[in-house]
Amino acid sequence: MKERYFSTFQLFLLALFAALIVVAKIALHLPLQLSGHSGIFWMAIIIVAARVVPKRGAASLVGLTSGIMAAFLGLGDLGGLNTLLSYTMAGIGADLGLLLLRDPENYACAMLAGMFGHLCKFIVKWIFGMAAGAPVGFVVLGLAKALVGYIVFGALGGLLGALTLAALRKAGFFTYLLEKK
């Protein structure tokens, strides 16, 4: 049989991680009054997915699938297209970050990858503002406060991802995964 890039188990696992992102986004409300705070869980799950399925494109696939789900469930303020693109870009950003930084179990690497992924989501919002023809100054002023939130929560999400991976390793999760392909 033809060798597949992602095995069926990996594909299903990534799809379920995407569902987990959407569920966490809906069910968990942290009382932190700054935009982008849901990125803590979001980026954490993406970082975990990138390590659990250690192949290029795993984080992007999780981002794309969760984007499609979020668009169908009507999440996000700027409509389905923005939701789809921003979730997808968060995954692609994390993938690119990990391509350069390599080790998602390293706290610093995970934080940087999380921050980069979350920033990519922010860039989609910025591009939407620009595409609408709004003057650059207004867009920058309007999104400046949000930018800080996106950087901080992206980094915290990456940290949470690395902490989760460390706990999973300690619990023998990766040995369990070796039996499943």
Partner 1 sequence: MNLNSTYGMTHAMRIIESSPIRKADPRTKLALCLCASLAVMLPLGKIIFFAIIYVIFLLWARLLPEAARQAWKLKWILGVLFLVDWLVISLDLAVVVTLRLLLMAGVFAMFFSTTTPSELCLALVWLRVPYRYAFSISLSFQTVSSIDTEWRGILEAQRARGAFEAPKGWRYIVEQVRNLVSLTVPAVVLTARRAWSMTEAAYARGFESPHRTAFNRLSMRAIDWAILAGAGMVAAAIIIWR
Q: Which residues bind partner 1 (CB under 8 A)?
A: 1, 4, 8-9, 11-20, 22-24, 26-32, 40-41, 44-45, 48, 52, 61, 65-66, 68-69, 71-75, 77-82, 84, 128, 131-135, 138, 142, 156, 159-161, 163-164, 167-168, 171, 173, 176-177, 180
Asked whether 70 and 83 are in contact (CB, 8 A), the reply is: yes
**At its nearest, how many Å lie between partner 1 and the CB of residue 163?**
5
If the CB atoms of residues 32 and 123 are measured against partner 1, the closer one turns out to be 32
**Using only C-alpha atoms, what is the Rg of the chain?**
16
Q: How far are the Cα atoms of 60, 156, 165 from residue 53, in angstroms, in the given order?
A: 12, 21, 12
CA 31/CA 47 separation, integer angstroms: 23
**At its nearest, how many Å lie between partner 1 and the CB of residue 23?**
5
If the CB atoms of residues 73 and 99 are measured against partner 1, the closer one turns out to be 73
- Helix (H) / strand (E) element for 66: namely helix 58-72
User: Nearest-5° angle of CA 11, CA 46, CA 69?
Assistant: 65
**At its nearest, how many Å lie between partner 1 and the CB of residue 96?**
21
If the CB atoms of residues 8 and 144 are measured against partner 1, the closer one turns out to be 8
**At its nearest, how many Å lie between partner 1 and the CB of residue 160?**
5
- Phi, psi (rounded to 5 degrees) for 29: -115, 110
If the CB atoms of residues 97 and 161 are measured against partner 1, the closer one turns out to be 161
Asked whether 134 and 78 are in contact (CB, 8 A), the reply is: no
**At its nearest, how many Å lie between partner 1 and the CB of residue 17?**
6
